[in-house]
């Protein structure tokens, strides 16, 4: 087992939480029976993965365990060439649609009135900006995050934010343009389905929401499993 894996095991077995202090370099070296230089290199790797956070002058702590490293890796891959952009985008749409449709029933069951109100406000802003020919990236991102927050699934929220960020980067190199009014209307259909308390309708609205970008990419939805039907 590598030093990196042994430090991760230490965090897990010790049930350490984000923000908890880590042992010093000397202490870890003694605990693991390896040199300080190997501990130092392992901590650099773990820091890049956001598993630990080095606060200079204060020590090392368990990191936020965010998906930042994954986002940067996917984004870089997506920027390598145009074909990768489209491949990354198609894969992202499949995964985003799968996550959202799979959790549709939870969204319908658990979305509070204030969540619906917030979603309505976001779609209203989308329509206003679309009418002016303005993009509404911030509202789009917040909309999808709100959907996942309604489920109470923290990992789904993190994944949604991460995948949305990569989606926004990769989309820049995809030929064609976005129909802003159609996109805004797609978000409204999602909110209407939630308000109707109909999870099957919500799944269909989510699939329809992603259809225009699939057409732009020339990709079809994967067979089965994404609509929840």
CATH number of the domain at 151, please: 1.20.120.530
**Count of alpha carbons within 13 Å of 54, Cβ hemisphere only?**
13
- pTM confidence score: 0.71
Distance (Å, whole) CA 190 – CA 178? 18
Distance (Å, whole) CA 104 – CA 93? 16
Domain that holds residue 206: 68-217
pLDDT number for residue 168 = 81
Q: Give the model confidence (pLDDT) of 36-75 as tens digits.
A: 999 999 999 999 888 899 888 889 999 877 766 666 666 5
The 3-state DSSP composition of the chain as helix, strand, coil percent (nearest 5) reads 70, 5, 30
What are the tokens at 160? 């949604």
| DSSP sequence for 114-142 | HHHHHHHHHHHHHHHHHHTT---HHHHHH
What number of other Cβ atoms are within 10 A of residue 229's Cβ? 10
pLDDT number for residue 92 = 82
Same domain, 101 and 155: yes
Q: Which of helix, strand or coil describes residue 59?
A: strand
DSSP, res 24: P
Same domain, 143 and 203: yes
CATH number at residue 46: 1.10.10.10
| 169 part of a folded domain | yes
| 225 part of a folded domain | no
Mean pLDDT, to the nearest integer, of 72-87? 60
| 224 part of a folded domain | no
Residue where a domain stops, chosen among 41, 62, 83: 62
What are the tokens at 186? 């797609």
What are the tokens at 178? 């976005």
Higher per-residue pLDDT: 78 or 194: 194
pLDDT number for residue 227 = 47
Q: Give the model confidence (pLDDT) of 187-200 as tens digits.
A: 999 999 999 999 99
Same domain, 42 and 94: no
Same domain, 75 and 44: no
Residues 6 or more apart in contact with residue 180 via CB below 8 angstroms: 126, 129, 130, 133, 134, 135, 136
Higher per-residue pLDDT: 220 or 208: 208
């Amino acid at each position: 087992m590598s030093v990196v894996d042994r430090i991760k095991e230490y965090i897990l077995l010790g049930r350490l939480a984000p923000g908890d202090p880590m042992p010093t370099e000397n202490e870890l070296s003694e605990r693991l029976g390896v040199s300080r230089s190997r501990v130092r290199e392992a901590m650099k790797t773990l820091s890049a993965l956001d598993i630990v956070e080095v606060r200079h002058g204060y020590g090392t702590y368990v990191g936020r365990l965010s998906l930042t490293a994954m986002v940067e890796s996917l984004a870089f891959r997506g920027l390598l060439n145009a074909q990768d952009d489209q491949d990354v985008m198609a894969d992202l749409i499949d995964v985003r649609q799968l996550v959202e449709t799979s959790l549709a029933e939870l969204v319908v069951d658990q979305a509070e009135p204030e969540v619906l109100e917030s979603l309505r406000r976001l779609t209203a802003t989308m329509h206003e900006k679309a009418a002016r020919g303005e993009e509404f990236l911030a509202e789009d991102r917040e909309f999808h995050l709100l959907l996942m927050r309604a489920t109470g699934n923290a990992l789904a929220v993190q994944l949604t934010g991460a995948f949305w960020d990569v989606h926004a980067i990769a989309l820049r190199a995809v030929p064609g343009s976005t129909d802003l009014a159609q996109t805004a209307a797609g978000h409204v259909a999602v909110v209407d389905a939630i308000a109707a308390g109909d999870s099957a309708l919500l799944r269909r609205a989510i699939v329809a929401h992603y259809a225009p970008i699939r057409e732009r990419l020339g990709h079809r939805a994967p067979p089965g499993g994404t609509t929840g039907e």
